[in-house]
Structure 1
Amino acid sequence: MKKLLCGLLAFVVLSFTHVSAETREDSLLLREDYPQEYVVVKGDTLWHISGRFLQSPWKWPEVWGVNPQVDNPHLIYPGDVIYLTWVDGKPRLGVRRDSGIYPRARTSPLDHAIPAIPLRDIIGFLNDNRVLPEDILKDAPYVLGGRSARIIAGAGDRVYARGTLLEEQRRQGVYRAAGEYKDPDTDEMLGFELTKVADADVKAQADSVISLDVVKSKKEIRVLDRVVPTEEVRIQSIFYPQSSPDGVEGKILKVLGGVRDGGQFNVVAINKGVREGLEPGHVFAIYRQGERIKDPVTKDFVILPSERSGELMVFKVFEKVSYGLIMQSTDVVSIGDTLRQP
């Protein structure tokens, strides 16, 4: 009897272990039409390449986990051959470089390596957009005007601002408020979005008036634009996608670019940030709000269930707001759509 119980217990343990292993492996599912090899071309991204093999492309760090051919999976270049292999029963991607009878070296500039995500879609938002708390924005100096009472100025002009610099540094940014963010659930003020219009150097300060020489402008400087220290941002293509933190759900506040609805490769603002533990690389699943329809029998209105419509990856994080890039979408993405763990 004792041997029988031990045998049953061992069977249960082994069965549970087997099911757990299958569950873990199922979390990294391959596409049905995945290729055995893929040749990298200009314009590819790691997300795009992984999407040819995986049903969930954001899990590409897992398939690059064991790759002795490439020390840094970001250093992959057009012409490289990506192939599927298996390590301990799990799919892995390897890289095959130039081959031939004789050894040879191939050199490529580092900035020619393919990025993790399409940088062309986010570069402007990395450089030119910021979200500041209301109190900081109110304390920032504001533009009075330019020489000869001008109310519009550009590169090469001198402008004057009034107030106290937030940071005593020579290079300052001139920003324009582009709107405010409020939490759709709590009505909490999350911050003001600012768009950079110019870069200016501080030339003099007399009492509360600041003289600035405009060195570069994207748009004309106007009265009441704000002077804020230039943000030191190092542009890089390195993002490591990972699931968003446990228990953190959010909503889309805005589709940046002046439109209400968006799709793949549009940038959106969401109502979660540093205080919720978000970091660049966190991935959310997007759920479209269910439609409100009228029941033909009872005549009352019914809200249909939310349905998954895409995925986004966070690439820039502020205290209470973050910017994310929509990496995949099967439906229109709109303001108010819900974000959950993928």
Structure 2
Amino acid sequence: MKKLRTNARLRPTLLTTLVASALFSAGLGIGTAASAQNYPITPEQRAVAQQTAQAGIPVSELAPNAPDEYTIKPGDTLWAISRMYLKSPWRWPELWGMNITEIKNPHRIYPGQVLYLDKTGGRARLSTRRGSGMPDGTIKLSPRTRYESLSGMALTTLSPALIDPFLSEAIIIDENTLITAPRIVAGNDDRVLLARGDRAYARGEINSPLVETSGPIKQFRIYRNATPLKDPATGEILGYEAAYLGRARMERGESTITQFEEGKEVTSVVPATIDIVAAREEMRAGDRLLPEPTREVQSYVPRAPTQEVNGRIVSVYGDAVTFAATNQIVAINKGLRDGMESGQVLAILKNGQTIVDKTNGAKETLKLPNERIGLLMVFRVFNKASYALILGSSDTPKAGDILVNP
């Protein structure tokens, strides 16, 4: 995509924050301007922006060290830039409202753009151009033409490496999904443990064999051990989390063969042939195959939930991991049925301990206060639970910690 700039007169309303406004537009893994321009702005976000158009936001809402001038660099992310300017970076619609008349599509921000912060009159405004001080409130540009290539340069919300693997690897399923899924029955050459490059054999259920169909070659994800996710507050089973092992490609489907043994006709099943094309852990007979999911392009727009949330962290993703840190994944006990959506930001509260006070000679039970220790963003939602990314923490979040509106 190419962009052409010519002589113009611009009103120095605020730039919708190229930061947060654009915020989180270019959903993970999507970098082109062409794709960015299609991301939706919800009616609620637009309404907030219109309310604050040209008014800016109180200076008190700025981050303490918000720079007066900042040049966007390759490798920047929209979340990091928004956090640089705002105490509450999920409040991007208000920042967008600062320049709604000038920025028709806030979902674009590119390396090389310079952000200027204006704090006159106790209100904060962000622009891509310095104010000129002209009486009529306009900026006059000298005649010039600038030709830029913007293809593939738009910033992403967060580093794609943080979430991309979990969009298809981490799953929450119901109890029967893995039990009834096709299974590996043997490895080639009597191999017990399978790794990338190995050949193996698999079978489906009697009523659902692994057969070849027209279209692309079938691809599978391989899983093991569906672990129940239990709500820390109610004890309800929210779903089952399966451990991702690797990926496989089907080379031949199941079939049958008829042979004569001791004068009798015997029909035997010939399992499907699969090749292991990726491995996180070694695989073995009994591991289950689920179809490779269709990759969906998602637009993550971090924002506070409109509904009141009172949730809990259920578990930290990973084998035998008890505590979480920034950029780690957790499962939470809120899902589609609770109104959760991708992009919603929640505050993490350390669940205060219950102690026995013996300092006054009596034994009195006390509940220590809950302390705010970080933020997380929901990025994949299932019916009763969701996966979320820890955006930042001052302590070590763990299962049982409380989640509330930010």
1:173 partner letter: R
Checking the alignment, whether the CA contact within 8 Å between 1:139 and 1:166 is kept in structure 2 is no
Residue 275 of structure 1 aligns to a residue whose secondary structure is helix
Are 2:302 and 1:241 equivalent residues in the alignment? yes
| Alignment match, 1:12 | none
Cα offset, 1:123, TM superposition: 1.8
Query: Which of 317, 321, 328 is residue 392 of structure 2 equivalent to?
Result: 328
| Alignment match, 1:341 | 405
Q: Please list the CA deviations of residues 127-150 of structure 1 after superposition, one character each: whole Å capped at 9, or x if unmatched.
A: 321111112222212221212332
Query: Which of 146, 153, 156 is residue 104 of structure 1 equivalent to?
Result: 146
Once residues 328 and 100 of structure 1 are traced to their aligned partners in structure 2, the CA distance between those partners, rounded to angstroms, is 44
Once residues 143 and 58 of structure 2 are traced to their aligned partners in structure 1, the CA distance between those partners, rounded to angstroms, is 40
Once residues 90 and 203 of structure 1 are traced to their aligned partners in structure 2, the CA distance between those partners, rounded to angstroms, is 66
1:303 partner letter: K
| Alignment match, 1:203 | 252
Are 2:273 and 1:225 equivalent residues in the alignment? no
Checking the alignment, whether the CA contact within 8 Å between 1:274 and 1:317 is kept in structure 2 is yes
Please report the RMSD computed on the Cα atoms of aligned residues, expressed in angstroms.
3.2
Given the two structures, how large is their TM-score scaled by the length of structure 2?
0.69
Judged with a 3 Å threshold, the aligned counterparts in structure 2 of structure 1 residues 248 and 335 are, in CA distance, closer, same or farther, namely: same
Greater relative contact order (CA < 8 Å, ≥ 6 in sequence):
2
Checking the alignment, whether the CA contact within 8 Å between 2:70 and 2:116 is kept in structure 1 is yes
| Alignment match, 1:84 | 117
Judged with a 3 Å threshold, the aligned counterparts in structure 2 of structure 1 residues 203 and 86 are, in CA distance, closer, same or farther, namely: farther
Once residues 224 and 123 of structure 2 are traced to their aligned partners in structure 1, the CA distance between those partners, rounded to angstroms, is 50
2:286 partner letter: L
Checking the alignment, whether the CA contact within 8 Å between 1:28 and 1:54 is kept in structure 2 is no
| Alignment match, 1:30 | 62
| Alignment match, 1:117 | 158
Counting helix residues as a fraction of each chain, which structure ranks higher?
1
Checking the alignment, whether the CA contact within 8 Å between 1:274 and 1:319 is kept in structure 2 is yes
Cα offset, 1:319, TM superposition: 1.7
Once residues 25 and 69 of structure 1 are traced to their aligned partners in structure 2, the CA distance between those partners, rounded to angstroms, is 17
Give structure 1 stretches of 5+ with no counterpart.
1-20
Residue 287 of structure 1 aligns to a residue whose secondary structure is strand
Q: Please list the CA deviations of residues 259-295 of structure 1 after superposition, one character each: whole Å capped at 9, or x if unmatched.
A: 2112222211111112212111111111111133342
Query: Which of 262, 277, 297 is residue 216 of structure 1 equivalent to?
Result: 277
Judged with a 3 Å threshold, the aligned counterparts in structure 2 of structure 1 residues 273 and 260 are, in CA distance, closer, same or farther, namely: same
Once residues 100 and 215 of structure 1 are traced to their aligned partners in structure 2, the CA distance between those partners, rounded to angstroms, is 61
Cα offset, 1:213, TM superposition: 2.1
Residue 56 of structure 1 aligns to a residue whose secondary structure is coil
> Aligned residues: percent identity?
37
Q: Please list the CA deviations of residues 311-331 of structure 1 after superposition, one character each: whole Å capped at 9, or x if unmatched.
A: 111011112221111112222
Judged with a 3 Å threshold, the aligned counterparts in structure 2 of structure 1 residues 28 and 160 are, in CA distance, closer, same or farther, namely: farther
Residue 168 of structure 2 aligns to a residue whose secondary structure is helix
Cα offset, 1:55, TM superposition: 0.7
1:152-301 equivalences under 5 Å are 152-164=193-205, 170-177=218-225, 179-194=227-242, 195-201=244-250, 203-206=252-255, 210-219=271-280, 220-235=282-297, 238-258=299-319, 259-295=321-357, 296-297=359-360, 298-301=362-365
Query: Which of 301, 304, 323 is residue 368 of structure 2 equivalent to?
Result: 304
Q: Please list the CA deviations of residues 228-262 of structure 1 after superposition, one character each: whole Å capped at 9, or x if unmatched.
A: 111112355x3112222423321111122342112
Q: Please list the CA deviations of residues 187-243 of structure 1 after superposition, one character each: whole Å capped at 9, or x if unmatched.
A: 22222222141132252123676413225112332122111111112355x311222
Once residues 159 and 179 of structure 1 are traced to their aligned partners in structure 2, the CA distance between those partners, rounded to angstroms, is 25
Once residues 122 and 166 of structure 1 are traced to their aligned partners in structure 2, the CA distance between those partners, rounded to angstroms, is 33
| Alignment match, 1:57 | 89
Once residues 183 and 270 of structure 1 are traced to their aligned partners in structure 2, the CA distance between those partners, rounded to angstroms, is 8
2:227 partner letter: G
Give structure 2 stretches of 5+ with no counterpart.
1-51, 131-140, 257-268
Once residues 74 and 182 of structure 1 are traced to their aligned partners in structure 2, the CA distance between those partners, rounded to angstroms, is 38
